[in-house]
Amino acid sequence: MSNRLENRTAVVTGAAQGMGFAIATVLFEAGAKVAIVDIAEEAVVEAARKLDPKNERSMAAVADVTQKEQIQNFIKRMKSTWGRVDILVNNAGGALHTPHLLEEVKEEHWDLVLNVNLKGAFLFCQAVIPLMVEQGGGSIVNVSALAAHWRASLAGVQYTAAKAGLEGLTRQLAYDWGKQGIRVNAVAPTVTLTGDRVRGLWEQKSEEEQQKVLSAIPLRRLSTPEEIGSVVAFLASDGASYITGITVDVSGGRYLR
């Protein structure tokens, strides 16, 4: 079976930069039409231009993943423009510049991280699944983290809780909607050098601290956003047609330690 994505339409949230943009790029290079969704208008327009200068297979869309009405309006636009949504990648999220020490985490930090990472994925799935049912199927890939079923290195309990919830959402949706031809999976990266915050936190570590992290990874290096994107593209493709309800660790073997 092919891992190519010609004649497929894909939506990637939080895709104006970093991991999301890398995922969007891999999907685009595999042949898909790609809608880049983000809350930052200038950044999302620039990302779409960078991805597809001819504007033949891309769409820039501004939407807050925590706002149901904005999501529904975007899905209506997708349906009227491209007719369908074959692939949904719920990437929007992260630690969102919140503290990682328990005593410093405030209620608003907890709410922000849970809302963007978990509620946002739920709302997008809720909006997209009826369209996927109508068209005869589709693939959803949620971007989780190794923290969801292990622990976090650069984030706090609000992040691990949100990502654990995301993996639960993945399993339940896969069970509920498999009979409708909808596959739902997740990918779980470990530390990936994407985004200013993660790079900054990594660079703040001493060489000794960095080596301690790397020594716990059998492949002895951090992952790249493109490596995560490749796994997302595989899960979205026909090559993964009998895979649903799982989380794929993309961690260089770190979970083995």
**Catalytically annotated residues:** 159
Q: Tell me the backbone φ, ψ of residue 245, rounded to 5 degrees.
A: 80, 15
Residue with tokens 């992290």: 213
Distance separating alpha carbons of residues 254 and 216, to the nearest angstrom: 6
Cα 114 from chain centre: 15
CB-based burial of residue 227 (10 Å sphere; 0-12 exposed, 13-18 middle, 19+ buried)? middle
- Reduced to 3 states (helix: H, G, I; strand: E, B; else coil), residue 114 is helix
Distance separating alpha carbons of residues 89 and 124, to the nearest angstrom: 9
Which residues have a Cβ under 8 Å from the Cβ of 210 and sit 6 or more positions away?
202
Supply 24's token pair.
């969007």
Distance separating alpha carbons of residues 23 and 13, to the nearest angstrom: 10
